[in-house]
Amino acid sequence: ILNVEQSPQSLHVQEGDSTNFTCSFPSSNFYALHWYRWETAKSPEALFVMTLNGDEKKKGRISATLNTKEGYSYLYIKGSQPEDSATYLCASEYGNKLVFGAGTILRVKS
């Protein structure tokens, strides 16, 4: 079973703080790395899908980087807002399978 790990497990920050999470994944047979945001009582929604080593993607205050050689990805949130509170999931794609990490729970206090 392929193991995708995320850290930290949870994070509490103040409004305006910048923060980042890590996703580690096996780099052999890697196809793509996905990041999803999962808000309470909603469905997970895709933030980014990255495939190439060195990929950097940005959506508003959120950005992500990918290192396929060493098997990790970082998700950054600049100037956290209360509406950023959610569980952030990463998933690594191997063949036809998406393997998820356990997620990082972010709580932003105003």
Q: Given 3-state DSSP classes, what are the helix, strand and coil percentages for the chain, each rounded to the nearest 5?
A: 5, 55, 40
Query: One symbol per residue from 33 to 62: x for binding other proteins (CB under 8 A), - otherwise; what is it?
Result: -x-x-----xxxxx--x-x-----------
17 makes contact with other proteins (CB under 8 A): no
Q: Using alpha carbons, select from 5, 25, 13 the residue that is nearest to residue 67.
A: 25
Residue with tokens 């990490």: 101
Count of CA atoms in the C-beta half-sphere (13 A) of 76: 12
The nearest distance, CB 14 to other proteins, in angstroms, is 25
The nearest distance, CB 15 to other proteins, in angstroms, is 27
The nearest distance, CB 107 to other proteins, in angstroms, is 16
Near other proteins in 64-103, by CB under 8 A:
89, 91, 93, 96-103
Q: Write the CA distances from 87 to 8, 16, 53, 60, 75, integer angstroms.
A: 11, 18, 25, 18, 12
Residue numbers at the binding site for other proteins (CB under 8 A): 1, 4, 6, 31-32, 34, 36, 42-46, 49, 51, 89, 91, 93, 96-103
